[in-house]
Amino acid sequence: MTSDLSPPFRPVEVDRTSPVPLYFQVATRLQELIEKGEIGVGARIENEVDLAERLGVSRPTTRRAIQYLVERGMLVRKRGVGTQVVHPKVRRPVELSSLYDDLVAGDRSPRTEVLELRTMPAPDPIAAALEVAPGTEVTWIERLRYAGGEPLALMHNAIPVDVLRLTRDDLAAHGLYELLRRSGLTPRIATQVIGARSATAAEARTLDEKRGASLLTMTRTAWDAGGRALEYGSHVYRASRYSFELNLSAG
Amino acid sequence: MTSDLSPPFRPVEVDRTSPVPLYFQVATRLQELIEKGEIGVGARIENEVDLAERLGVSRPTTRRAIQYLVERGMLVRKRGVGTQVVHPKVRRPVELSSLYDDLVAGDRSPRTEVLELRTMPAPDPIAAALEVAPGTEVTWIERLRYAGGEPLALMHNAIPVDVLRLTRDDLAAHGLYELLRRSGLTPRIATQVIGARSATAAEARTLDEKRGASLLTMTRTAWDAGGRALEYGSHVYRASRYSFELNLSAG
DNA sequence: ATCATCAGTTTGTCATGACAAAGTATTGAC
DNA sequence: GTCAATACTTTGTCATGACAAACTGATGAT
């Protein structure tokens, strides 16, 4: 029935002198083979035991490599059946990146205008969102983001001052998440709410839209691995120029 | 410095006769302790080796349980330091559920009106989204979803006929994802695009909004674990009544 | 007093071995 | 021929043992 028994694809050799973990080497190699189509969608890969033996690694190591790709949506395992390729490229769960990074990646030449930058005690709703004490000092930022010469988004952020200090120049030249990461602060968890509403007169003017035009709204709070709140953001995007793309995967 | 050395919290006994895997029993028990606050945020839990010994399970099993909670954002591990509680409840990555389920869970008494239900060859854009051959027969559904007596969303779906056959009654009484699951079809992977635009006159009339009101739009394609396309959806929501909430976690 | 060095703690990686559970394919009885 | 029982394949779970790497804190030299 399943004629596509794994062809003897090229040996995946591992480098035991490398500091890269073996399971990761195996996973990366498999991912390459799949992305290049050398193992086609629907094809079954070799069973764990044989694969492990052929690579000269243990079965747990092989399992861990396969598991890694299963979690990324490339492979599917069924007990008693085998492991099958279901998608030729990684489906990332959801990116936790900033708009700026996305625009750079998409070659849309972003530019940032810093409209406001000051420190102030956090208003209650923002303190609540950040899960910090009311009145905690935060840096309040208002930015206008351009892409391809056109205004795209109006962004408001609050960052606790003891998390990061920011300058106008930094913000004009880099995305907020890049600045965070550069300071060793890695956002790991975030909650977002995405909605829509009509533009106010002032927003329409700033964003070069007609009054009452539809805007996408996004509010987000991001935490680092230690559970410390890094950033609260409340942004509006021109719906005519922007939308959110998400890849979901459910266990 | 860290005075909060793990108190000798109650023994977590495992049941080896249970069909539930040991690692999952341990993970669940730890999760309970954390959710109930018996292990507070910031506290360090026992190290893997001791914990394993005390529970009478192996270290890999303990590691797997802890890893499970780390991936869910409750715990953080640092080599040479230990494992710390960073959040008292699970942060789910993103749910892959239907609007209907969400409304039921939120006690907002959903109701569904089936406006249209017929089979037809998939138009090219929809066939492309589903990654099936152009002209593949699909069931085309148009539904109006109410919540709390008010219209909330206008939903269009295409489901390949060889995936599932649907009746008006089924659709009126249940959410689409519930019907899929009941047939043994589990959505595992989806890509979504969320945007916004102004309502057309017809949409405004149907949704009881003013003409030009802002609407949230969401298009989605969902696949099962085997990579088979289950559903394409193109929905519009009243922005005044609905927004998307997401929890993200980045590796 | 300050800084480098070293030992201790804790998680990270890997190997080997074993059995269980869930599918699939084959065999055999009727 | 049909259906149930059986054998086989493959992944899932678990144990034990070992060493490496990262971080912490104490020690010692300057």
CATH number, residue B50: 1.10.10.10
- CA-angle at A151, arms to A146 and A152, nearest 5°: 80
Q: Is residue A26 part of a domain?
A: yes
Residues A64 and A149 in one domain: no
pLDDT confidence of residue B19: 85
Note whether residue A120 is domain-resident. yes
Task: Pick the last residue of a domain from B85, B108, B140.
Answer: B85
Residue-averaged pLDDT of chain B: 83
Beta bridge partners, B145, equal B112, B153
Together in a domain, B103 and B219 = yes
Question: Do A127 and A212 lie in a common domain?
Answer: yes
Residue A233 located in a structural domain:
yes
Residue where the block lists tokens 């956002």: A187
Which of B61, B51, B93 has the alpha carbon at shortest distance from B74? B93
Provide the domain limits for residue B68: 22-85
Which of the pair, B165 or B26, is modelled with greater confidence?
B26
Structure tokens that stand for A74 in this block: 């490339």
Same domain, yes or no: B137 and B212: yes
Residues B32 and B148 grouped into a single domain: no
Q: Strands of B82-85's sheet, edge to edge?
A: B44-45, B82-85, B75-78
Predicted local confidence at residue A1, as pLDDT: 38
pLDDT tens across A15-26, in order? 888 888 999 999
Of B246, B218, B249, residue with least CA distance to B231: B218
Assess whether A59 and A106 both reside in one domain. Answer: no
Instruction: Tell me, yes or no, whether A106 and A230 share the same domain.
Output: yes
For residue A202, give the CATH number of its domain.
Answer: 3.40.1410.10
Residues A52 and A80 placed together within one structural domain of the fold: yes
Total domain count, chain A? 2
Inter-CA distances, B116 with A102, B151, B231, B249, Å: 39, 16, 16, 38
Tell me the shortest Cα–Cα distance from A113 to chain B, in angstroms.
Answer: 24
- Whether A92 is in a domain gets the answer no
| Mean pLDDT (whole number) for A47-52 | 92
How far, in Å, CA of B158 to CA of B167, rounded?
A: 14
pLDDT of residue B1: 37
Residue of chain A minimizing CA distance to B245: A193
Q: Which two tokens stand for residue B242?
A: 């609905």
Between A35 and B107, the more confident residue is A35
Same domain, B62 and B157: no
Select from A152, A166, A34, A164 the least CA-distant residue to A99. A152
Model pLDDT, residue A84: 86
Tens of pLDDT, residue by residue over A163-188, are 888 899 988 888 888 888 777 777 87
Measure B123 CA to nearest chain A CA, in Å: 22
CA of B59 vs C1' of D16, distance in Å?
9
- Min Cα–Cα distance to chain A from B214, Å: 5
Nearest to A196 among B84, B216, B249 (CB): B216
Where residue A9 falls among pLDDT bands split at 50, 70, 90? very low
Distance CA B65 to C1' D16 in A:
18
User: CB A96 to CB B250 under 8 A?
Assistant: yes
User: Does B186 score more than 70 pLDDT?
Assistant: yes
Is the ipTM reported for this complex over the cut 0.90? no
Q: Mean pLDDT over residues B223-241, rounded?
A: 86
On whether residue B245 sits in a domain, the answer given is no
Identify nearest nucleotide to residue B58 by CA to C1′ distance. D15
**Same structural domain for residues B140 and B173?**
yes
A193-202, B116-125, B170-179 — which is least confidently predicted?
A: B170-179
Q: Is residue B60 domain-resident?
A: yes
pLDDT value at position B105?
Answer: 57
Residues A244, B193: C-beta atoms closer than 8 Å: yes
Q: Same domain, yes or no, for B167 and B73?
A: no
Q: Which residues touch strand D (CB under 7 A)?
A: A 19, 45, 47-50, 59-60, 63, 77-83; B 1-2, 21-24, 56-61, 64, 78-81
Residue B52 has pLDDT above 90, yes or no: yes
Q: How far is the CA of B2 from the C1' of D25 (A)?
A: 13
pLDDT in tens, B106-163: 656 678 899 999 999 999 999 988 888 888 899 999 999 988 788 999 999 999 988 8
Query: Rounded to an integer, what distance in angstroms lies between the CA atom of residue B243 and that of residue A159?
Result: 24
Contact A192 B91 (CB under 8 A): no
Structure tokens at B57: 């399970």
**Residue A111 and residue A187 share a domain:** yes
Does a structural domain hold residue A58?
A: yes
List chain C nucleotides near protein: any atom < 7 Å from a Cβ: 8-18, 20-25
Per-residue pLDDT tens digits for B16-47: 888 889 999 999 999 989 888 888 888 889 99
Is the residue at B139 inside a domain?
A: yes
Mean per-residue pLDDT for B81-94? 71
Instruction: Choose, out of B90, B132, B248, the residue to mutate when testing the contact with A (most A CBs < 10 Å).
Output: B248
